Amino acid sequence: MSDPISRLDQFRAETPGAPMKSAAEVRRRGDQIRRRQRTIVTAGAVALAAVVAGPIIFLSAGFGERATEPEPAPAPTPSQTPSTVPPSPSASTPVSDLTRANLPVEGDLVAEDPFPKWVLDKTYDGEGRSDYNECLATSLADAGALATFRRDFVPEAGKQYADSAGTLTAVAAEFASADEAEKVRAKLSEAASSCAPVDGSDVAGSLPVEGGVISDGDVNVVTYVPEDPSLNARWEVATAVVAVEDRLLVMTRRRGVQDYVSPTSVRDSAVAAAYRLAGSTPPPAAASSSPPSSPPSSAPAPILSDANLVVAGSLPGLPLPGESSATWQQVAAQPTPTLYCQGAWLSSLKAAESVSREFRLVNPEEIGRVNVAILEFATKAAADAAYEKVHGWLDTCPATMADAKLYTAGPIESIEIDSDPKVDRAAQTLAEYAADCGGEGCDSTWYDHQTIAQIGTRLVLVTHAEASGPCPPTTACPPEEDADYAEWDKRVAQTVEATVDRAVRDLS
């Protein structure tokens, strides 16, 4: 029977059976789509508001609902007057002379513009409950502290943006020796950086805390998606851990954020608080009785900013058969490394400042990825060392921060990048690893160009990844001639050059 009309009629009459979900299931999926669209629209509005107004805006619940409430200490009255209530040590253990006077006071703290100043909320003997910082699994007492005191600060009530400034907690501890304090500091710093107890936490950045009376210290920032879906921001935990001889200060700022802001205010607060931890008074330059917009003169002005980051419009579109090219859109920080081949989080490089940005394709999703990070180091030597470290990662591709299976990587090759000022050196490698198709028989692969460039004390890290398969994103499958790679190479080069161009804009 080859009569098409009768065959078509038969097809219509005997409509092939198709499995069918219940209408309720389909409606649920529709509701899901609707919620997602609403979230996207609202997020866009909030992002715009954040750009205009500066601060982070919460859609519903404030931070206070998530803030931990420490167990009240026995009858302490909030006071800035030193207390003499150390824990009662046994005769065989060293005696601590740490007191409440070693805790920071309001004047030590630097508020981030445009948030109001910090005011004292409560002071405790001991740490209260140890969950003032979700990244630290061990309390200072458990780590061997002889004595601990804690002071909580909140934004000045009634002031603009007080609801979105978050909370700040300072815990002072004394140990039996400087060595012991340093060991605990290193462990806490690592814990603050990795934030292992929080699933899906993402390292946002870090700064060293140094100068004054400080032996060693840093501030690490992680972010994560809150459990409360009505909050249209990521939770940010900035943890400064500072050692001063045999004493430690752990300063934690928790708040919701839309974008990463270098934690200079936490760093400067920790520098000033360190003097009080040591039993002295911060010099006027370190203590902040000045307005929030005037940080201590010991703190250098930030060098990097969003202006150093490439924008979506500068990235090359991805051609799609039969469609106009797909364009890029900036997305919130993802819980993935900037470079697939990274052997550790970038915070381990100890840059003085860092900014980063991520992009995905608007349509379709999941076939393109651009991550960029700009790192500024205190010295050329530090930048050189960090370049070598990253170069080593790209060369060997440990990929210890990534989940996807590696197929092939390398070799790493030196590349030329046209920029002003001139790039000192740059290298690039191509890694191929499994893309997540969510199904069996998936032959999709990420073709991921990873680039590092150095300009003086600055490093620029770029990922330009395109998913394809079984052939790479070339114009012919399989590619046979150099010309088949030309468009792909051009897209990668354009991404790298646009990123470097923005990264060095303030240097030219």
Partner 1 sequence: MDEDEFDAFYNASYRRVCAQVYAMIGDSDEAAECVQEAFARAWAHRRKMSSVDYPEAWVRTTAYRLAVGRWRRKKYAGRAADRAVGVRMEMPAVDETHVALVAALKKLPEAQRQAIVLHHIADLPVHQVAAEVGVPTGTIKARLSRGRTALAALLADEAPGTALEGGVR
Residues in contact with partner 1 by the rule CB under 8 A: 1-5, 7-12, 14-21, 23-27, 29-34, 37, 320-323, 364, 366-367, 435, 437-439, 441-445, 467-471, 473
428: left (phi over 0), alpha (psi -120 to 50) or beta: beta
In whole angstroms, how close is the CB of 478 to partner 1 at the nearest point? Answer: 13
Nearest by Cα to 472 from 428, 435, 440, 427: 435
In whole angstroms, how close is the CB of 15 to partner 1 at the nearest point? Answer: 4
In whole angstroms, how close is the CB of 22 to partner 1 at the nearest point? Answer: 9
Q: Report residue 358 as tokens.
A: 């991520």
Are the CB atoms for 46 and 149 separated by under 8 Å? no
Q: Which is nearer to partner 1, 10 or 297 (CB)?
A: 10
In whole angstroms, how close is the CB of 327 to partner 1 at the nearest point? Answer: 15
Q: Which is nearer to partner 1, 14 or 480 (CB)?
A: 14
In whole angstroms, how close is the CB of 29 to partner 1 at the nearest point? Answer: 4
Amino acid at position 390, single letter:
V
Phi and psi of 387, rounded to 5°? -60, -45
Q: Which is nearer to partner 1, 17 or 313 (CB)?
A: 17
Are the CB atoms for 469 and 445 separated by under 8 Å? yes
CA quadruple 279, 118, 203, 456: dihedral sign:
negative
Q: Which residues pair with 251 in a beta bridge?
A: 170, 240
Distance, in Å, from the CA atom of 386 to the CA atom of 388, rounded to the nearest integer, reads 5
Q: Which is nearer to partner 1, 4 or 74 (CB)?
A: 4
Give, for 179, the enclosing helix (H) or strand (E).
helix 178-194
In whole angstroms, how close is the CB of 85 to partner 1 at the nearest point? Answer: 60
Alpha-helical (H) ranges within 352-475 are 380-396
In whole angstroms, how close is the CB of 329 to partner 1 at the nearest point? Answer: 17
Cis peptide before 263 (omega within 30 of 0): no
Q: Which is nearer to partner 1, 26 or 48 (CB)?
A: 26
Distance, in Å, from the CA atom of 44 to the CA atom of 50, rounded to the nearest integer, reads 10
Distance, in Å, from the CA atom of 354 to the CA atom of 333, rounded to the nearest integer, reads 14
Q: Which is nearer to partner 1, 419 or 463 (CB)?
A: 463
Q: Which is nearer to partner 1, 35 or 129 (CB)?
A: 35
In whole angstroms, how close is the CB of 274 to partner 1 at the nearest point? Answer: 52
SS3 507: helix
In whole angstroms, how close is the CB of 474 to partner 1 at the nearest point? Answer: 11
Q: Which is nearer to partner 1, 80 or 444 (CB)?
A: 444
Are the CB atoms for 187 and 143 separated by under 8 Å? yes
Residue recorded with tokens 């992680």: 222
Nearest by Cα to 173 from 284, 286, 273: 273
Q: Which is nearer to partner 1, 33 or 61 (CB)?
A: 33
